[in-house]
């Protein structure tokens, strides 16, 4: 067990890995939503939902770049956590999905928790925040 006790010295590498994972997820999903700008409201995608998706097509990639670079990573983590709360609410209360299963919201919950971890821990040593703001 002594081997595990000494791993805390590598915490900044863990935060970097977490930032890369979260940033990659939000960048990919945000860029996928760019097609929403060419769509028109429909029965499947009402105007209100289309507007939200268009907003997310901008916010998700911006938050992803912030997290990936470690520039204003903690405020970005707050925004991304709020996005995940919205996704979980949509799946649970509107689409009536269970926590685990086909289209469940368990992965959304995990991403939410990772954003909270970044909020609390900060971006770590390998981040622009550390260089620019000495955080």
Per-residue pLDDT tens over the stretch 36-62: 999 999 998 999 999 999 999 999 999
pLDDT band at 89 (very low <50, low <70, confident <90, very high): very high
Among 5-9, 28-32, 70-74, where is mean pLDDT lowest? Answer: 5-9
Average pLDDT, the chain: 95
The predicted pLDDT at position 2 comes to: 80
**What tokens were used for 77?**
């983590």
Q: Where does residue 38 rank: exposed (0-12), middle (13-18), buried (19+ CB within 10 A)?
A: exposed
DSSP 61-74: HHHHHHHHHTSSHH
The predicted pLDDT at position 107 comes to: 97
Q: Looking at the predicted structure, is the pLDDT value of residue 134 above 90?
A: no
**Beta-strand (E) ranges in 45-126?**
none
CA distance 48 to 39: 13
Phi (first) and psi of residue 92, to 5 degrees: -75, -50
| 30-42 pLDDT tens trace | 999 999 999 999 9
Cβ atoms of residues 111 and 25 within 8 Å: yes
DSSP reduced 3-state for 77: helix
């Amino acid at each position: 067990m002594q081997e595990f006790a000494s791993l805390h010295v590598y915490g900044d590498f863990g935060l970097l890995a977490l930032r890369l994972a979260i940033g990659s997820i939000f960048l990919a999903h945000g860029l996928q939503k760019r097609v929403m700008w060419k769509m028109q409201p429909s029965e499947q995608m009402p105007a209100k939902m289309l507007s939200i998706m268009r907003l997310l097509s901008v916010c998700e990639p911006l938050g992803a770049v912030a997290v990936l670079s470690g520039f204003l990573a903690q405020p970005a983590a707050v925004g991304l956590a709020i996005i995940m709360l919205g996704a979980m609410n949509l799946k649970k209360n509107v689409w009536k999905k269970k926590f685990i299963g086909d289209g469940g919201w368990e992965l959304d919950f995990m991403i939410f928790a990772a954003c909270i971890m970044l909020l609390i821990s900060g971006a770590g040593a390998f981040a622009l925040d550390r260089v620019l703001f000495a955080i």
